[in-house]
Homo-oligomer: A and B are copies of this chain.
């Protein structure tokens, strides 16, 4: 197919893809992640991307199909990199935590909608791929990481805690502040620039906090 070849050619040349298809996807991604499926109207997508309403169906057959593709990509972007990192045996747990915090805090600063999207996806989809695919690559390497955590817990002098606490706290400390960003800005009188600075600070702080949870 002609247009497939064009796409491939652009990709090989590392050119940005400003095709109609891409414009639709960009607009749709913003709207879907911000407002969800039902709240987002096809007319909005068309308007925001500056294309004709009918073209959305031409390229993606239906709103649902477009949504599925975008959510798939969002999740891929979220997962990307975890697998490699978690599986490594040359890094200890704290080094992994530090890299994890660095990677995702940067990612979330750049894509503000992602945190809320990821968490509500996890929350509302017991059935979903993302939660279920226990046979995928991440699963194996995740176990390496969790075992490292378990080892640290086993070394605790008093009161060992369940690894789920540590995992949950780790994810929460990274992702949660982004979800209450509006509240922090309003109540703590923080502006956008300060908010980003605070999040950057956390890249160093989170490993320290997790360490103190594990070493008492």
The closest CB in chain B to the CB of A180 belongs to: B122
A81 interface contact, C-beta 8 A: no
B36 touches A180 (CB 8 A): no
B168 touches A122 (CB 8 A): no
- The listed residue (B125, B134, B190, B216) touching A182 by CB distance below 8 A is B125
A58 → B minimal CB distance (Å): 25
B188 touches A164 (CB 8 A): yes
Chain A residues within 8 Å of chain B by Cβ, number: 51
Number of copies: 2
Give the docked Cα–Cα distance between A34 and B180 (Å). Answer: 19
A138-191 with Cβ < 8 A to chain B: 142, 161-165, 167-169, 171-173, 175-177, 179-184, 186-188, 190
B165 touches A202 (CB 8 A): yes
A198 interface contact, C-beta 8 A: yes
Known interface pairs A120-B120, A171-B180; A186-B39 also in contact (CB < 8 Å): no
B165 touches A205 (CB 8 A): yes
A212 interface contact, C-beta 8 A: yes
A164 touches B198 (CB 8 A): yes
Report B-chain residues with C-beta under 8 Å of the C-beta of A59. none
A positions within 8 Å CB-CB of B: 34-39, 116, 119-120, 122-126, 131-132, 134, 142, 161-165, 167-169, 171-173, 175-177, 179-184, 186-188, 190, 198, 201-202, 205, 208-209, 212-213, 216
Task: List 24 interface pairs A-B (beta carbons < 8 Å), by A numbering.
Answer: A34-B124, A35-B124, A36-B36, A37-B39, A116-B120, A116-B124, A120-B120, A123-B180, A131-B187, A134-B186, A161-B201, A161-B205, A163-B188, A164-B188, A164-B198, A165-B205, A167-B184, A167-B188, A169-B209, A171-B176, A172-B172, A172-B177, A175-B176, A209-B209
